[in-house]
A and B are shown apart, each in its own frame.
Chain A
Amino acid sequence: MIEGISIYELLTVSTILFFIGVYGFITRKNLISVLISVELILNGAAVNFVVINKYLYPEVLQGMIFSIFIIAVAAAETALAISIIINLYRKISSVEVKEVETMKN
């Protein structure tokens, strides 16, 4: 709990972060940028968990532990994504989303 800061303000910030991430996810044309946007989304969600844990149910730790899990999953996901991107780059020399479509064939 932060002195003088209500839950609303915190949730507002996390929501904004989340939607900025969504915006980036949809608009960016580059796989790495998409990855960055995903990180933003994850962070927004994690903050949410933590805030709700802290403000509403301070006696338990669920929210926090979920955040830790999120961080862990994010790390795994990033690692995987990066490996895929690099592999892809080796094959088609591009990380543009639209180029990746050629994989469908």
Chain B
Amino acid sequence: MNYTAIILIPLIPLAVFLVLGLFNRKIGPGVSGLVGVGGMLVSTLLSFYTAFEYFMVLGKVSGAYPTLVESTVWMNFTETLRIDMGVLIDPISVMMLIVVSTISLMVHIYSRGYMKGDEGYTKFFSFLSLFTFSMYGLVLATNLFQIYIFWELVGVSSYLLIGYYYTKESAVAAAKKAFIVTRFADLGFLIGILLIGYYTGTYDFETLNNPEGATLTHWAPASFMGLSVLTWGLILIFIGGAGKSAMFPLHIWLPDAMEGPTPVSALIHAATMVVAGVFLVARLFPMYFFVEEGFALQIVAFVGAFSALFAAVIALTQTDIKRVLAYSTMSQLGYMMLALGVSGYEGSQGLGYMSSMFHLFTHAMFKALLFLCAGSVIHAVHSNYLKDMGQLRKYMPITHLSFLVAALAIAGIPPFAGFWSKDEILVAVYQQNTFLYVVGIFVAGLTALYIFRIYFGIFWGKDNTYEHRPAESPASMTVPLIVLAVLSATVGFIPFSEFISPDRAGFDAHIDIPMAITAVAVALIGIGIAWMLYKKESGLATRLTDRLGVLYTWAHRKFYMDEVYLFVTKNILFKGIAAGAAWADRKIVDGTMNLIGNSTVLFSKKIKGMQSGRVQDYAMAFVSGTVILALLFIYLWTS
């Protein structure tokens, strides 16, 4: 393998970030766009080159894809614990390289058109590069701490990009919320790292994940509340992953994050950063699977399933198209988690793992496409809301077709990409747990319903009168759409199970015909309902929502999760604890100190009178002093 090439992949965006960031105001928009796209292009080519080298040239070594590690010490903690910086090449990291490069390149190109004329154009590209660099670092990480470092960095790039329109209050609030919620989750992650580091003595994925290694054969060095400490560590790490991947109940930041520019939503909040949580669980999959017979993995599965359902229901009721897509993302991420959660380890048992990665891959393509299309639409009509759209297929044919491809892909209609991965997931879930399978298939139907609801709402539906006649976006925006549409339609045919499986050996996956038919039928039903309700503007939808009443309101208000959080943070943390601490500090702690000071002053005022100049007082002091001294001497002498 050519390590120079691999190491260059993250370093090029870093260099771009530094150049654009430092000379922010000296570089014109034209140059910065070119530098950004050029840098990304080189990175992408290198990524594909690496993938080719790894899968095709190097291939399997003794029946499994090898793990290649190249690292250098960054900081030493103790004799055993240290932070390395390096690259780890294995099937999933190579796959992630492809995903990140492809999407990032497309988004870079798209942004040249989308952000045209924005005053922070150069800044925007530098942030994008920072994000891409961090994401590369994350997927290539060789150990828990390295992944944590880049985890934080993607978090901050996300913060900067969500808050890109920093004069908008809502954007600032959303950025803050995203950062703090994920930071809270990262707290779990960090504590998990500390726990695992303490009990296993290493942060290296290689050592931790080795099925024959000491960690996995002796997974219970100590227990806490009936569970192995390693299980606790893994649960805590999953909390970190859940925060980034917007799993219930840490999902509340994702819909708000749509305040960022749309290309950002496509890149960060749909395709790459939010899958970091899934990637993290996959990265530690052997640990999740072997420690305590996969107890933590069960939690992953159930949280994933619930989030998938929860988000899909909310997505049905939202009117902001980006928010619909955000909840859709959350729902699909839930799918991936669910698939990971039900996966086995060896051979075709690893179907869940493989399908999860597969879905991650296809989802990145079609979800990025959906966002970019949405961006294109928003660009044209200057609004995020369904009510301002309708009949747009007449004005924006390329966008329309791309969106349709993506919608079909996410709904799981063959032969589009989503069908293949989703089918594998459902098969994997069905093998493990029927209940979760029912949830999964129900969510599949909901997915088709909500995505076609906005599809019909945007491109069909009522005939809006537009102030400015909407026009198709410029080439810089439509070219990425076309590329991604082609990818969304075709990537499903990649034989993923050959390349990716938990034990790296690969296996043969095949379509389970009855399962596939069921899934497609459910999806078609969903599409059909959407067609009935939303194709033409009819009162049907509103009547239905009225009929559902409370249920609809609840879903529309996102089950009041924001309000709950607001209550907890504002009333309990902010007004309760923080205000309490501030008050206590001024009044009690400082008050005590001031009291000491004041009582000293008071005391001195009192005893100031002793030096009164009155002979009698002195005499009194003299007598008392003499008496006391005499007593003292007597006592000392006699004893």
Contacts and interface: CB of A to CB of B under 8 A. Distances in A.
A–B direct contact (CB < 8 Å): yes
Interface of A: 22, 25-28, 34, 97-98, 101, 104
Given A26-B623, A27-B616, 8 more contacts: A22-B623, A25-B619, A26-B616, A26-B619, A34-B616, A97-B614, A101-B613, A101-B614
A101 B614 CA distance: 7
Which of B613, B614, B616, B623 has the most chain A CB atoms inside 10 A of its CB? Answer: B616
B582 interface: no
A22 B614 contact: no
B614 A98 contact: yes
20 contacts: A22-B619, A22-B623, A25-B616, A25-B619, A26-B616, A26-B619, A26-B620, A26-B623, A27-B616, A28-B616, A34-B615, A34-B616, A97-B614, A97-B615, A97-B616, A98-B614, A101-B612, A101-B613, A101-B614, A104-B613
Contacts, number: 20
B131 to A, nearest CB: 80
Contacts of A98: 614
Contacts of A97: 614-616
B626 to A, nearest CB: 10
A8 B620 CA distance: 27
Nearest to B612: A101
| Nearest 10 interchain pairs by C-beta | A26-B620, A26-B616, A26-B619, A104-B613, A25-B619, A22-B623, A97-B616, A101-B613, A97-B614, A25-B616
A34 B613 CA distance: 16
Interface in B608-632: 612-616, 619-620, 623
Secondary structure class of chain A's binding surface, majority of residues = helix
Nearest to A28: B616
A74 to B, nearest CB: 18
Nearest to A103: B613
A22 B624 CA distance: 11
B118 to A, nearest CB: 80
Contacts of A28: 616
Contacts of B616: 25-28, 34, 97
Contacts of B612: 101
A104 to B, nearest CB: 5
A105 to B, nearest CB: 11
A22 B616 CA distance: 10
Nearest to B621: A26
Contacts of B614: 97-98, 101
Contacts of A101: 612-614
A77 B30 CA distance: 108
A25 B619 CA distance: 8
A94 to B, nearest CB: 15
A25 B612 CA distance: 16
Nearest to A22: B623
Contacts of B613: 101, 104
Interface string B25-65: 00000000000000000000000000000000000000000
A102 B184 CA distance: 72
A62 B623 CA distance: 27
Contacts of A22: 619, 623
A37 to B, nearest CB: 10
A95 B614 CA distance: 14
A34 B620 CA distance: 13
A25 B620 CA distance: 9
Contacts of A27: 616
A84 to B, nearest CB: 13
Nearest to B618: A26
Interface in B546-566: none
Interface in B459-498: none
B303 to A, nearest CB: 84
Interface in B586-639: 612-616, 619-620, 623
B123 to A, nearest CB: 75
